[in-house]
Amino acid sequence: MTSIALPAKMRVFERGWLSSNNILFLGDSPALIDSGYATHAPQTVALVAKSLPPGRTLERLYNTHLHSDHCGGNAALQQRFGCRTWVPAAEADPVRHWDEARLSFRATAQRCDRFSFDETLSPGDTMTLGEREWLVLGAPGHDPHALMLYCPHDGTLISADALWQNGFGVIFPELDGESGFAEQAAVLDLIEQLDVQRVIPGHGAPFDDVAGALSRAHSRLDHLRGDPARNARNALKVLIVFRLMAERTLIRASLADTLAGARAWRNAAAMLAPPSKWPALLDTLVDELLRSGAVTQDDDGRLAAPA
């Protein structure tokens, strides 16, 4: 449960990994922001159904960006509620044709059930959520097509993975040799220019220490920009833990197979070591994760992420 005051018609479902948080707006046209990971979709549907007033249905579904932990429940929600769905405009064509080479799911070795969309969102658009007007803002950095939602009336920012209480999401464009650090810095600068009173992040509890979060995010970004290999190392660790959480248990050898077939994994590894050294790199990262407690290993050598 969040400890800060939220707008009257907003409900925040704070989710644990693998899912992003979900934000439900009640009112004349109930709407949900982001839908979590595919394996958590039944729970997402249940949370929404339990929170809707009697006789009401979920009418609208919006995605801040199309990483698997933010849109993996789309298909289940569409099937259950028949909700109209909005995606970032730049992702419309890949979703329409379900082009997994352009969507992120294959690159990260993550799952997303195929879904459709009805309309698109672009920076500068406005919408009504919970009987308040919200502005769509571009939030490239973590993802080049990511969006945030801002309500000037009460200073609420739905930041997705652009700003967390302690940082932000992996800067994935940098793994592809594209600019991401500069875009992330610009997004943080944009947030500073807004009158933000509270932030609903993509992961973790809503918070109102906006200045503190921005300061920590700037420090984190400066650290990563100082040596881009730090971003790559963090990305590969995050991807390993995510896969372990999704699969529950894996043997180490399967991580090497995943790395060989997933572009984001390979790109991160290539920034850290030549291909001949990738098995040793994976062993090093797994050992670090074991020491930190982010991963466990049983007597048979099978890896798992703590529940």
Please report the pLDDT score of residue 1 as a whole number. 41
Residue ranges in 11-150 assigned as alpha helix (H): 41-51, 68-71, 74-81, 92-96, 105-108
Residues 198 and 287 in one domain: no
Residue 190: inside a domain: yes
Residues 287 and 171 in one domain: no
Pairing of the two strands 10-13 and 249-250 = unpaired
Please report the pLDDT score of residue 146 as a whole number. 98
Please report the pLDDT score of residue 100 as a whole number. 86
Residues 166 and 93 in one domain: yes
| β-sheet with 132-138: strand ranges across | 126-129, 132-138, 147-151, 156-160, 198-201
Residue ranges in the chain assigned as alpha helix (H): 41-51, 68-71, 74-81, 92-96, 105-108, 181-193, 210-226, 228-247, 252-261, 263-270, 278-292
How far is the C-alpha of 118 from the C-alpha of 272, rounded, in Å?
41
| β-sheet with 249-250: strand ranges across | 249-250, 303-304, 296-297
**Domain count along the chain:** 2
Residues 214 and 245 in one domain: no
Residues 158 and 178 in one domain: yes
Residue 3: inside a domain: no
Please report the pLDDT score of residue 7 as a whole number. 87
Residues 198 and 240 in one domain: no
Domain endpoint, select from 210, 226, 242? 226
How far is the C-alpha of 47 from the C-alpha of 32, rounded, in Å?
11
Q: How many CB atoms are closer than 10 A to CB 99?
A: 12
Cβ within 8 Å of residue 10, ≥6 positions away: 23, 24, 25, 26, 129, 130, 156, 200
How far is the C-alpha of 254 from the C-alpha of 109, rounded, in Å?
12
Domain of 261, CATH number, reads 1.10.10
How far is the C-alpha of 10 from the C-alpha of 32, rounded, in Å?
10
Residues 246 and 193 in one domain: no
Residues 237 and 90 in one domain: no
How confident is the chain (307 residues) per 10-residue block, as mean pLDDT? 78 94 95 97 97 95 98 98 98 96 94 97 97 97 98 97 98 97 98 98 97 98 97 97 92 93 97 97 96 92 85
Q: What's the domain range around 75?
A: 10-226
Please report the pLDDT score of residue 285 as a whole number. 97
Residues 199 and 268 in one domain: no
- Cβ burial, residue 252 (10 Å; 0-12/13-18/19+): middle
Residues 126 and 199 in one domain: yes
76's tokens: 């289940």
The identity of residue 183, as a single letter, is E
How far is the C-alpha of 143 from the C-alpha of 161, rounded, in Å?
9
Residue 127: inside a domain: yes
Residues 144 and 56 in one domain: yes
How far is the C-alpha of 138 from the C-alpha of 145, rounded, in Å?
7
How far is the C-alpha of 81 from the C-alpha of 73, rounded, in Å?
12
Residues 19 and 116 in one domain: yes
